A and B are shown apart, each in its own frame.
Chain A
Amino acid sequence: METVGGVTVVELLGDSLDATNADGISEQLTHLAARHPKLIVDLGRLVFLDSSGCGVLVTAQKRCREAGGDLRICQPTGRVKTVIDIARLGRVMGIYPSCEQAIASFNP
Chain B
Amino acid sequence: MVTASQINSSAAVNGEPIPQPIHSPEAVNLLNYVRAHARREFARPLEHLDPSERWRALALAVRDRMMDQLVHTGERYTAAKGKFLAYLSMEFLVGRSLSNNLRNMGLFEAAKEVFAGLNFDLAESLELEPDAALGNGGLGRLAACFLDSLATLDMPGYGYGINYEYGMFRQEVVDGAQREKPENWLTFGSPWLIQRPSERVHVPVYGHIEHGVDQAGGYNPMWLGWKVLVGVPYDLPIVGYGGKSVNYLRLYSARSANELDMEFFNSGDYLRAVESEIVSETVTKVLYPSDAVPQGRELRLIQEYFLVACAIRDIVRRFLLHQTSFETLPDHLAVQLNDTHPALAVAELMRYLVDEAGLVWEAAWDVVTKVFGYTNHTLMPEALEKWPVPLLEKVLPRHLQIIYEINRRFLEHVATVCPGDPARLARMSLIEEANPKWVRMANLAIVGSHSVNGVAQLHSRLVATQLVPDFAQLWPEKFNNKTNGVTPRRWLLDSNPGLASLLTRSVGPGWVTDMGLVRGIEPLADDAGFREEFRRVKRANKERLATLIRNKLRLTVDPTALFDAQVKRIHEYKRQLLNLLNVIHLYLMLVEDGKELPAPRVVIFAGKAAPGYWVAKQIIRLIHAVAREVNRDPRTRGFLKVVFLPDYRVSLAETIIPAADLSEQISTAGTEASGTSCMKFAFNGALTIGTMDGANIEIRRDVGDDNIFVFGLRTEEIEDLRRRGAYHPFDYYQHQPVARRVLDAIKNDRFPVGQPGAFRWVFDSLTSEDRYFHLADLEDYTTTQLRVATAYCDREEWARKAILNVARTSEFSSDRTIRQYADEIWNLRSIPPQEG
Contact = CB atoms under 8 A, between A and B. Distances in A.
A13 interface: no
B212 interface: yes
Interface residues of A, number: 20
Contact of A87 (B223, B257, B262, B263): B223
Interface in B193-225: 202, 204, 207, 210, 212-215, 220-225
Interface in A1-59: 18, 20, 50-52, 54-55, 58
A54 B222 CA distance: 9
B167 to A, nearest CB: 31
Contacts of B258: 18
B213 A92 contact: yes
Contacts of A52: 224-225
- Output the residue of A50, A58, A85 with the most chain B CB within 10 A: A50
Given A58-B210, A92-B212, A51 B220 contact: no
A86 B204 contact: yes
Contacts of B214: 91-92
Nearest to A85: B356
Given A51-B204, A52-B225, A82-B202, A88 B213 contact: no
B228 interface: yes
A89 B222 contact: yes
A91 B214 CA distance: 5
B355 interface: yes
A51 B356 contact: no
Given A82-B356, A85-B355, A91-B215, A58 B222 contact: yes
Which one of A18, A54, A88 has the greatest number of beta carbons of chain B within 10 Å?
A88
A12 B449 CA distance: 44
B326 interface: no
Nearest to B355: A88
Interface string A71-96: 00000000100110111110111100
A26 to B, nearest CB: 13
Contacts of B204: 51, 86
Contact of B356 (A20, A86, A93): A86
Contacts of B222: 54, 58, 87-89, 91-92
B228 A50 contact: yes
Contact of B207 (A18, A51, A91): A51
B6 to A, nearest CB: 51
> Which of B213, B224, B258: most chain A Cβ within 10 A?
B224
B192 interface: no
B261 interface: yes
Given A51-B224, A88-B355, A92-B214, A20 B261 contact: yes
B355 A86 contact: yes
A107 to B, nearest CB: 17
A50 B220 contact: no
Given A51-B204, A79-B202, A91-B214, A86 B223 contact: yes
Interface in B262-305: 262-263
B42 interface: no
Contacts of B356: 82, 85-86
Contacts of A54: 222, 224
Interface in B221-261: 221-226, 228, 257-258, 261
B273 to A, nearest CB: 11
Contacts of A51: 204, 207, 223-226
Range of interface residues on B (Cβ < 8 Å):
20 to 34
Nearest to B354: A88
A92 B220 CA distance: 8
A87 B221 CA distance: 8
A20 B266 CA distance: 12
A93 B224 CA distance: 15
B263 A55 contact: no
A82 B317 CA distance: 12
A61 B735 CA distance: 81
A58 B224 contact: yes
Nearest to B221: A88
A54 B208 CA distance: 12
A92 B257 contact: no
Given A85-B355, A86-B204, A92 B215 contact: yes
Nearest to B203: A86
A87 B210 CA distance: 9
B220 A55 contact: no
B357 to A, nearest CB: 8
A56 B76 CA distance: 47
A58 to B, nearest CB: 7
Nearest to A20: B263
A20 B262 contact: yes
Contacts of A94: 215
A82 B228 CA distance: 12
A40 to B, nearest CB: 16
A90 B564 CA distance: 65
A91 B354 CA distance: 11
A53 to B, nearest CB: 10
B226 to A, nearest CB: 5
A91 B212 CA distance: 9
A33 B215 CA distance: 19
Nearest to B226: A51
A54 B224 CA distance: 7
Contacts of B223: 51, 86-88
A94 B213 CA distance: 13
B644 to A, nearest CB: 51
B212 A55 contact: no
B372 to A, nearest CB: 21
A20 B261 CA distance: 8
B203 to A, nearest CB: 10
Contact of B220 (A82, A85, A86, A88): A88
Interface of A: 18, 20, 50-52, 54-55, 58, 79, 82-83, 85-89, 91-94
Given A50-B226, A91-B220, 15 more contacts: A20-B262, A51-B204, A51-B207, A51-B226, A54-B224, A58-B212, A58-B222, A83-B202, A86-B204, A86-B223, A86-B355, A88-B355, A92-B212, A92-B215, A93-B215
The 5 residue pairs across chains A and B that have the minimum distance between CB atoms: A85-B356, A91-B214, A91-B220, A51-B224, A51-B226
23 contacts: A20-B263, A50-B226, A50-B228, A50-B257, A51-B207, A51-B223, A51-B224, A52-B224, A55-B224, A55-B225, A58-B212, A58-B222, A85-B355, A86-B223, A86-B226, A86-B355, A86-B356, A88-B220, A89-B222, A91-B214, A91-B215, A91-B222, A92-B215
